Structure 1
Amino acid sequence: MPLALPLVPPGEPGSELSAGQDGDALVRRSVLPGGVRVLTERMPGLRSATVGAWVGVGSRDERDGHHGSTHFLEHLLFKGTDRRSAMDIAEAFDAVGGEANAATGKEHTCYYARVLDDDLPMAVDVITDMVTSARLDADELETERGVILEELAMNDDDPSDVAHEHFAAAVLGAHPLGRPIGGTPETILAVPRDAVWQHYREHYGPRTLVVTAAGGVDHDTLCAQVLRALEDGGWDTSSPAAPLGRRGDDGPGEVLAPSAGTELTVRRSTEQANVIIGGASLTATDPRRFVLSVLNAALGGGMSSRLFQEIREKRGLAYSTYSFSSGHADTGVFGLYAGCTPAKVDEVTRLLEQEWDRLAQDGLMPGELERSIGQLSGGLVLGMEDTGSRMGRLGKSELVHGELLGLDESLERIRAVTAEEVRELAGELAALPRSCVLVGPFGD
């Protein structure tokens, strides 16, 4: 059975949990004073560990006037605290051969580090210091404003990135999920330091913080380190507060998706055309997400997939073609991508739609279901071989799903998918409004 992760104050039933995992690994979870959640997965024999500090806030949570603040914080938390300069933070990890980074999503942010197990106390102290005590210095903010603008310019030079950004906006419309995670040059130039500071103070606190670690880690020791670091950072961890509710616990939010599909052409001076077709899809917690994974694998998830075989192998029309999906608390997106010569874009677009519709109408061919399930099962097991993947699984289980599936349980759900379920879901997705985004050397 999955390990349920209830949001209760410390000391109540469910605030201390443990579950054995594959390979003699052990997952433990504690709700600490103040509502901070700590999850660990001890992996016997490993001399390294990955630790992450998760905050359940992403780009969708930015209010008017705060757009771009989430991505700004991802950069600024590395620029110094009351106890450490930016160089101190960088040197701390370089001196032990470790690595530290951060990732901003539409619904959460994670600051993480991978180090030797002996250096885990240092990593916890530094990462927690960054999360609790960032200075957000005005001069550093202006310097980083230029860095972020260069990052956005780099992404804008990649036509496939441009296609994906416009596709999300086309499918999700005016909803905050349709905004770019990193912001736009306009929002980054406009957001003032006070807005970034307000965003930081509003969303970063004990009830929103989740700390996860995997590898050579001792749970009780880590909990003590986290509490000590939070107290050093001035956070109130004395009250027995419950963690903040998960996104979507109070019901699905309103998604302002277009009532009909959108067609958009974005002009870029490129050698290739980049085309994406697709539409809305399942939420991150929909029980059919395992069916969607099998569907995605069969349609465009590998070299044996329909898109790869039909568009690249048989016809030589593209080097890169695939399908993709992403789920959020109240909606999701599903799409098919290909990059091709501009003169072939109509043919390639027709083939993308043809393979999607054929799957919806006729279902999987003999052997496709078994091959797709095998691909997903092998990828899942191989992906769990490193501490970073396990750390990420703990964070998403706590923030998104409210339960932790063991590896065997995840494999069982994948293997339980039937060909009829795949056909039904493909038909459901194909019947929704379909958008098409084209990026390349085209006129109006």
Structure 2
Amino acid sequence: MKSISLPDGIQKTVLPSGLRILTESIPHTRSAALGIWVGIGSRDETPSLHGASHFLEHLLFKGTHKRTALDISSEIEAVGGETNAFTTKEYTCYYARVLDADLPLAVDVLCDALADSLLDPDDVETERGVILEEIAMHEDEPGDEVHDIFSEAIFGNHPLGRLISGTPESITPMTRDQINRFYRKRYTAPEVVIAAAGNLDHAAVVKMVRKAFAGTPLDTEPAAPAPTRPWEKPVRLQKPSTVVVRRDTEQAHIVLGGGGLGRHDERRFALGVLNNVLGGGMSSRLFQEIRERRGLAYSVYSYASQHADAGLVGVYAGCAPTRAQEVLDLIRVELDRVATDGITAGELLRGKGMVKGSYVLGLEDTGSRMSRLAKSELLHGDIMGVDDLLARVDAVTVDEVNAVAAELFSGSGGRSLAVVGPFDEADFSA
């Protein structure tokens, strides 16, 4: 067992099994946040297992040899805590927030659920129905659906372009044995990071975790922690395209953009600044031009999504269908302008301030502190101190931002467009 101290009072212990435990002590709080993060997500699924990670996320709360589904939820709620989970394309997280005195209970409950789930066949059928309803509900939210359509337009049939939830065609035939094999093969100790933040003691947390996992499938032979996800080979992007999904909606939902940067790209700090200048707040170019000056949309913003070996950038707008073309034209003008002319020195300062402020203000609660630990370890392989990260943002120059803008937002190679609304493909053929 190896323990080390990291920046900002963070401590890390690697168990012989390869499982990693990271904590941040925040003595002035009376709460603690605990997360069990597994470096497996929807991009790790074969086509026949499309949606298995999300399916498993549902099933791990349905009962173990020690607890029923009711026991799992009621034991945490009885002490005023909360527990939940979520699945992404590259990892899955199971978490709880409790009073500091109840952290041992949270560790025991979550570790039990993760390591010893029964995956009862009846529960599989019940959750299959729940997930199919969840997929249908998602299709009734065009403002969310359009982002999935855009992602598929960028990544195509690559796993990054698929829905995290799976589809009715993949979820309906998936068997309990398939899910269980995925569970036991992929949920191994080297893939697991346990993070906790709050009023806690690191050594005590390590002791709790070791006790909770003793004798379970995660109490395994010595192994090294799983390396960060490989990123040397970039994902091949699709040719620019237009995808229109007809829905009789009151609003048109639009995303325009293209490929971005992977999360290991050193230019990601410049992209963060650029994103805020372009469409990251009420003072951004897109918000000022489209909403404030012209009143054409209630919601308009830019965003960047980053994966290990790929990324995308997009601009979203929700507007009246009769204004969709005008809004699209304005978005294109702003993208062309920032790609050609770049940003100003004043915008650079404002963009840096927004990046730094959102990061620091986002660390004001134990849940976000816990997430920072796990994501840093799982996705980057190390933890950058807050001061170091702020210094990296401060070091961004106008030239660096403008170079990223020219590469990512130039329309010379074409842009992909996703639209959900009362339209046909022909409406955007131009």
TM-score using structure 2 length: 0.96
Quick check: 1:442 aligned with 2:429? no
Quick check: 1:55 aligned with 2:42? no
Amino acid at match of 1:440: G
Equivalent-residue separation in structure 2 for 1:20 and 1:390 (angstroms):
13
Quick check: 1:107 aligned with 2:100? no
2:320 is matched with which residue: 328, 341, 346?
341
Find the residue that maps to 2:48 and give its secondary structure: coil
Residue 405 of structure 2: aligned partner: 426
Quick check: 1:318 aligned with 2:305? no
Amino acid at match of 1:334: V
1:54–1:109 CA contact under 8 A, matched in 2: yes
Amino acid at match of 2:418: V
Q: How does 1:103-252 map to 2 (within 5 A)?
A: 103-237=86-220, 239-248=221-230, 251-252=231-232
Aligned-residue offset at 1:198: 1.1
Q: How many residues align?
A: 423
Residue 33 of structure 1: aligned partner: 16
Aligned-residue offset at 1:430: 2.0
Q: How does 1:40-79 map to 2 (within 5 A)?
A: 40-79=23-62
Quick check: 1:286 aligned with 2:265? yes
Find the residue that maps to 1:190 and give its secondary structure: coil
Find the residue that maps to 1:368 and give its secondary structure: helix
Q: 1:429 to 1:20 in 2, by over 3 A?
A: closer
1:256 is matched with which residue: 232, 236, 250?
236
Amino acid at match of 1:83: K
1:285–1:400 CA contact under 8 A, matched in 2: no
Amino acid at match of 1:80: G
Equivalent-residue separation in structure 1 for 2:264 and 2:399 (angstroms):
21
2:283 is matched with which residue: 304, 307, 314?
304
2:7–2:383 CA contact under 8 A, matched in 1: no
Equivalent-residue separation in structure 2 for 1:433 and 1:228 (angstroms):
56
Aligned-residue offset at 1:366: 4.3
Equivalent-residue separation in structure 1 for 2:309 and 2:355 (angstroms):
25
Residue 6 of structure 1: aligned partner: none
2:6–2:12 CA contact under 8 A, matched in 1: no
Identity %: 53
Range that drifts further, 79-88 or 365-374: 365-374
Find the residue that maps to 1:403 and give its secondary structure: coil
Q: Which runs of 4+ in 1 moved over 4 A?
A: none
Residue 7 of structure 1: aligned partner: none
TM-score using structure 1 length: 0.93
Equivalent-residue separation in structure 1 for 2:258 and 2:314 (angstroms):
6
Aligned-residue offset at 1:64: 2.9
2:17–2:223 CA contact under 8 A, matched in 1: yes
Residue 5 of structure 1: aligned partner: none
Equivalent-residue separation in structure 1 for 2:241 and 2:130 (angstroms):
33
Amino acid at match of 2:236: L
Find the residue that maps to 2:368 and give its secondary structure: helix
Cα distance per residue 1:316-347 (max 9 Å; x no partner):
10000000111111101110010111111111
Quick check: 1:396 aligned with 2:381? no
Aligned-residue offset at 1:192: 1.4
Equivalent-residue separation in structure 2 for 1:190 and 1:143 (angstroms):
14
Aligned-residue offset at 1:433: 4.5
Aligned-residue offset at 1:232: 4.1
1:65–1:195 CA contact under 8 A, matched in 2: no
Point out where structure 2 has 5 or more consecutive residues left out of the alignment. Answer: 426-430
Equivalent-residue separation in structure 2 for 1:168 and 1:234 (angstroms):
36
Aligned-residue offset at 1:236: 3.0
Cα distance per residue 1:182-202 (max 9 Å; x no partner):
111221112111111111011
1:290–1:417 CA contact under 8 A, matched in 2: yes
Equivalent-residue separation in structure 2 for 1:139 and 1:433 (angstroms):
49
Residue 428 of structure 2: aligned partner: none
Residue 272 of structure 1: aligned partner: 251
Point out where structure 1 has 5 or more consecutive residues left out of the alignment. Answer: 1-9
Quick check: 1:380 aligned with 2:359? yes
Range that drifts further, 339-348 or 105-114: 339-348
Aligned-residue offset at 1:443: 2.9
Equivalent-residue separation in structure 2 for 1:343 and 1:411 (angstroms):
43
Equivalent-residue separation in structure 1 for 2:335 and 2:420 (angstroms):
21
Residue 336 of structure 2: aligned partner: 357
Find the residue that maps to 1:404 and give its secondary structure: coil
